[in-house]
Chain A
Amino acid sequence: MNPNTPPPSDDELPDERELAAIYGRLPKDEPDAGLDARVRALAVPRSNGRRRTRWPIALGSAAALVLAAAAAWQLRDAQAPLPVADHEAAPVEALRERAAPAPSMAPAAPAAGPLATPAPAPPPPPAPPAAITAEAAKPSAHAESRSAAKVAPQVMHTKSAPSPQADEAIAGFAPVSELAPDDRVGEIRRLLGSGQRDLALRRLRDLRERYPRYDLPQDLRDLGP
């Protein structure tokens, strides 16, 4: 207590200042350095403990980032060669020129990989592998239809009508979509011969969408615009 500072008035007791003055001259004992160190050590471990708990989190986060980056890199490496391995560069370029896709389409093509790339026009490929599913075919047709600006209205009509898609699934239309143009012409003529005119017309429409530069035989050109 500072003897020069009076205590609160309501607490002041007789002779308190004199006693405080003498008390103030008592030795100012302090904890020694060893005790100081022990007390400070009490406070430190908690901080270190927090650091210890933070380090694994930081390391774990960094490791997770590295793993994610590595996985993404691996996936990228795994996907990138596929289009090159399965398709020759020339047909791909030809398709791009023919389709004149919007800029946003460019990244989509490699991402879709083998599923999005239709069978190249020349030369006709062998019969489509049975493993190709209808799901695989849909993105292909969709990509082609989006790229064919001239037949966009027709494409919209085709895609917006749900019942033909159901018919195609029933009639096994998907494998036919992988045929070459000449084979498609033969298939259309066969359908006309068997009386399936509606289905023949749809396939003719599909042939025109996929191969707009293909020179149709006169008998098929006479079927419609």
Chain B
Amino acid sequence: MEARVADDGGLMLAWAGGSAAAFDELYARHKGTLYRFLLRSVSDRATADELFQDTWSRVVVARDRYRPDAKFTTWLLQIAHNLAVDHFRRQRPQAGAEETEAVFAAQMAPERDQPEQALTDFEQRRRMQRAIESLPDDQRATFVLRMENDLSVDEIAVVTGVGRETAKSRLRYAMARVRDQLTASP
């Protein structure tokens, strides 16, 4: 992925210059990871479809303003993340940090003592899916950006618009919670 990302800026410029083939290449590169980021962020295919299309629509509108000094992946995910956040705000109030911590603490303590169980591959995937869905929005976005899009903590901070330490803290909490969900007894 890294080797290809280096050319994303050039593809954007070529596309802005009228090359349809450049857009096709750019779209082919990023459609999967972007779509999965959105699908796992909103857990609803119809909404993910809508946000996916909205994201590319924003890219189309802003393509003349794109500058190669901004990493395309970060820029693309930033647009998608902002649209997802807007969606969450429309759907329900964002869970506050205190509420998040309370839920996190309540669920983590007893599960830490559970013995690890050998789970089938299917069961692991099912638990992973549920664990992701159960994460607070900001932790879920952070976790998916890390797992799906392979972003560094700094890049996650840029995409989600928070400081590096906040991003790292969210990631720690999200990973701990997912791990605990995976090892929890059924």
* Min C-beta distance of A11 to chain B, whole Å: 5
> B125 near A: Cβ within 8 Å?
yes
A43 contact from B15, B52, B128, B153, Cβ within 8 A = B15
Residues of A within 8 A of B35 (CB): 29-31
A40 to B178, CA, bound (A): 36
B166 within 8 A of A: no
Contact A22–B124 (Cβ < 8 Å) = yes
- Is the beta-carbon distance between B147 and A39 smaller than 8 angstroms? no
A39 touches B53 (CB 8 A): yes
Q: How far is A29 from B175 in the complex, measured between Cα atoms in Å?
A: 22
Of A7, A8, A23, most B-chain CB atoms within 10 Å: A23
Q: Which of B18, B31, B56, B124 contacts A25 (CB 8 A)?
A: B124
Q: Verify A26–B60 contact, CB threshold 8 A.
A: no
Q: Does B172 sit at the interface, judged by CB under 8 A?
A: yes
Identify B49's interface contact among A20, A28, A31, CB under 8 A.
A31
Interface: B94 (CB within 8 A): no
When chains A and B are docked, how far (Å) is the Cα of A152 from the Cα of B5? Answer: 80
Query: How many A residues have CB within 8 A of the partner chain?
Result: 33
**What's the count of A-B pairs with C-beta under 8 Å?**
86
Contact A35 B52 (CB under 8 A): yes
- With CB as the reference atom, state the residue of chain B lying closest to A27: B125
B56 and A42 contact, CB distance less than 8 A: yes
Checking A1, A36, A43 against B147 with a beta-carbon cut-off of 8 angstroms, the contacting residue is A1
Evaluate contact between B179 and A46: CB separation under 8 angstroms.
no
B75 at interface, CB cutoff 8 A: no
- Asked whether, in the complex, the Cβ of A42 is within 8 Å of the Cβ of B53, the reply is yes
Residues of B within 8 A of A29 (CB): 32, 35-36, 39
Q: How many residues of B contact A (CB 8 A)?
A: 35
In the complex, chain A residues whose CB is within 8 Å of the CB of B121: 25
Distance from B46 Cβ to chain A, minimum over Cβ atoms (Å): 11
Min Cβ gap A44→B in Å is 7
A31 to B49, CA, bound (A): 7
**Complex interface bits, A12-32 against B, C-beta within 8 A gives 1, otherwise 0:** 011110111011111011110
Is A50's beta carbon under 8 Å from chain B?
yes
* Complex contacts, B60 vs chain A, CB 8 Å: 42-43, 46
A2 within 8 A of B: yes
| A153-B137 Cα distance, complex, nearest whole Å | 101
- A44: chain B residues at CB < 8 Å are 20
The answer to whether B171 touches A13 (Cβ under 8 A) is yes
Q: Which partner residue on chain B sits nearest A34 by CB separation?
A: B49
Is B165 part of the contact surface with A, judged by Cβ < 8 Å? no
CA distance A1 to B152 in the complex (A): 11
CB distance from A57 to the nearest CB of B (A): 15
Shortest distance between the CB of A50 and any CB in chain B (Å):
6
Across-interface contacts of A14 in B (CB, < 8 A)? 175
7 sampled A-B residue pairs with Cβ under 8 A: A11-B168, A15-B179, A22-B182, A35-B52, A39-B52, A42-B56, A43-B15
Binding site for A on B (CB under 8 A): 15, 18, 20, 23-24, 27, 31-32, 35-36, 39, 49, 52-53, 56-57, 60, 121, 124-125, 128-129, 146-148, 150, 152-153, 168, 171-172, 175, 178-179, 182
- Please report A residues at the B interface, Cβ cutoff 8 Å: 1-2, 7-8, 10-11, 13-16, 18-20, 22-26, 28-31, 35-36, 38-40, 42-44, 46-47, 50
Known contacts A19-B179, A42-B53; 9 additional CB pairs below 8 A are A1-B148, A8-B152, A10-B153, A13-B172, A19-B182, A22-B182, A25-B125, A39-B31, A42-B60
Cβ-closest 3 pairs across A and B: A23-B147, A39-B56, A11-B153
